[in-house]
Amino acid sequence: MPSKYKTRDLGELLLREDQATYKAREEDRLHKRHVAFKLIDLFCGAGGMTLGFTEYFGHHFKPIWANDFNKYCVATYSVNFGEHCVHGDIVDILKQPSTKIPQADVVIGGPPCQGFSLLNKNREHDPRNHLWRPYLEVVEKSRAKVFVIENVPQILGTFEHGEIVGAAEKLGFKVWHGKLCAADYGVPQTRWRAFIVGSKLSDPCLIFPPRKTHFNPNGNGHQSSLDYTADANYLHVPQRWRTVRDTIGNLLPPVGTNPRAEPPPLDLHFGRTPTPKSLKRYKAIPKEGMNRFDLLKRAPELTPLCWIKKKTGGTDLFGRLWWDKPAFTIRTEFFKPEKGRYLHPEQHRPITHREAARLQSFPDSFIFKGTKIEIAKQIGNAVPPLLAARIADIVYVLLTA
């Protein structure tokens, strides 16, 4: 960071930029930059992070290169952002002499996180733990000034986490890392994610994490978001967490069991055909917030034996969402109630693809490609775009300070 900037100066700069940006958004005056910062997205999936950095952040960033191993993800990314997404294994791509990584200002992405997930019993020796290495190779080759790695919270404090920080510091980056709750940034979902941010310009520790834009009305996070009062005209007052009702309450019951040739939101608002026993189970727990333990109390004859034996843990399994709370973490199999709290608050069914996409903060206009199973994976694996946009807020300050 240039010596003329002190810690207080950078904080005040962030405040002015943040306040002016919010005011511009409110007045719909945020225009495109003449020259946008160039953006690379690795392990891009559907492009949730790219969406947050571009469409959700006033077009200050321009995506120029992306990569994913899944051809359906590449198709989704390409139809939404352009034909610059390369399909294939990034390790193999980097080995090819013909590969040329374009110069960029920022590299973002989430190396596959299953290796660190608590759901993965073999995570200690999972080879996917090391895909940050080609990620940093792209950072180096692109001469990026800032990078953002997204992953599951369990990565923090691991040996690999230490290796990532050490390797980044050898490349000249100063590094911040921490956990963020998506609900604190406008996403109707209490999804926790880890972020590792590196910068060659200013120390990201001085201005990360982003200040919260939303607060838990039942918690004590309200005051911490109101610390900045330099200019009352520009102060952004945090709103309450967005809820399931805010997000999907206006949708009618779904039709059919497959994607439809209908305009959004109807295209992905389809259901399933439950077995008679599954439907009885749904009806046995009709109130929002109920779960598998309520099923055991009310209809033990319908309760799977494995749930009867397992009397602890898993309180969200076979659970109904609450109307007036955010959703819990949306994973790739949100259409299976036995996998989590994915039952509609009052209708006897799991949430639809459209409802899951909205709960991840994807706009209805976003186009998903692939089978319904592949689309579900893209939705569940994505970084919520609104959360990515708040990261973009601070990355923009790092690049312009």
The H-or-E segment that residue 382 falls in is none
Provide the token pair at 335.
């259409």
Quote the DSSP letter at residue 202. Answer: S
| CA-closest candidate to residue 137, choices 175, 176, 164, 98 | 164
The one catalytic residue among 44, 73, 85, 113: 113
- The answer to whether the CB of 383 falls within 8 A of the CB of 49 is yes
Q: Which residues pair with 122 in a beta bridge?
A: none
Question: Annotated catalytic, 113?
Answer: yes
- The answer to whether the CB of 142 falls within 8 A of the CB of 101 is yes
Provide the token pair at 327.
């959703």
**Which three-class secondary structure string do you get for 65-111?**
EEEECCHHHHHHHHHHHCCCEEECCHHHHHHCCCCCCCCCCEEEECC
What is the spatial distance between Cα 401 and Cα 181, in angstroms, rounded to a whole number?
26
What is the spatial distance between Cα 279 and Cα 21, in angstroms, rounded to a whole number?
48
Catalytic (active-site) positions: 113
